[in-house]
Amino acid sequence: MNAWGIIALLSGTVGAMSGALVRGGWAVFLGAALPWLGLLAYLLYNEYVLPYRGGGASMWPVAQLFGGTLAAFTGASAALAVLLFRRWREKG
């Protein structure tokens, strides 16, 4: 599985869990913030804690810009989908 798929799968899982465990708008906020922060933690760990493996310029800010946007959007979408599904189940 490529990196985009891993980011989307893990972010969707975290977003769905936040939508299932937290009620209201906080679920969507957490669904977006937790995957973004998780990706940031991984990138910073990979950049500053692991030994240098060569390669040139550091590209973690660009990776966070694009990958973090994907992670936040996927997590927030999953949390919103779970919230809407819960609201639909409660009404009908």
- Confidence (pLDDT) at 57: 82
Cα separation values, 73 from 15, 17, 20, 91, Å: 9, 15, 17, 27
**Cα 78 to chain center, whole Å?**
10
- Confidence (pLDDT) at 58: 85
Residue whose tokens read 């800010």: 61
Amino acid at 13: T
Contact (Cβ atoms closer than 8 angstroms) between residue 34 and residue 72: no
Residue whose tokens read 């669904």: 31
pTM confidence score: 0.90
What residues of the chain score a pLDDT lower than 70?
A: none
**Domain boundaries, given as residue ranges, for the chain:** 3-91
